[in-house]
């Protein structure tokens, strides 16, 4: 009688990459928290800048850096395969380009349009 081992397709990657060898350790969460807090503080301080476009640029940059920290360390993208990282970063870059491209039209709208 033959002993055939059936591997569930959902767990097939465990044969190639055993989970006990995939442990990457924990990042320094306190350092990441402090970096997120620092970037949040920069966003709050930037709200006092009189130049609207400069203020929005600083807030957008700080928000992008915060999102990258969360994605890389809390969502563990840093330890995923390179092709998955490229796909997600490409999608985020495309979304950012869309937001930046559309944002320049917002100041062009007359403010009296919103008044009843």
Q: Where are the domains of the chain?
A: 9-76
Segments of 22-91 assigned E as strands: none
- Per residue in 20-78, pLDDT (tens digit) is 555 566 778 899 999 999 999 999 999 899 988 899 889 989 998 999 899 888 887 88
Segments of the chain assigned E as strands: none
Which residue, chain included where needed, has tokens 């709050």? 44
What predicted TM-score, i.e. pTM, was given to this entire model? 0.63
With beta carbons less than 8 A apart as the criterion, state whether 73 and 27 touch: yes
- Alpha-carbon distance of 12 to 5, in angstroms, equals 12
Predicted confidence band of residue 10 (pLDDT cuts 50, 70, 90): low
pLDDT at 30: 92
């Amino acid at each position: 009688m033959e002993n055939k081992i059936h591997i569930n397709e959902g767990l097939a990657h465990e044969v190639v990459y055993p989970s006990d060898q995939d442990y990457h350790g924990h990042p320094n969460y306190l350092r990441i928290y402090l970096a997120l807090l620092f970037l949040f503080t920069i966003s709050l301080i930037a709200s006092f800048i009189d130049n609207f476009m400069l203020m929005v640029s600083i807030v957008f940059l700080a928000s992008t850096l915060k999102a990258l920290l969360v994605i890389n360390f809390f969502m563990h993208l840093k330890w995923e395969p390179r092709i998955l990282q490229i796909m997600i970063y490409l999608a985020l870059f495309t979304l950012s380009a869309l937001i930046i491209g559309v944002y320049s039209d917002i100041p062009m709208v007359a403010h009296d349009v919103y008044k009843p």
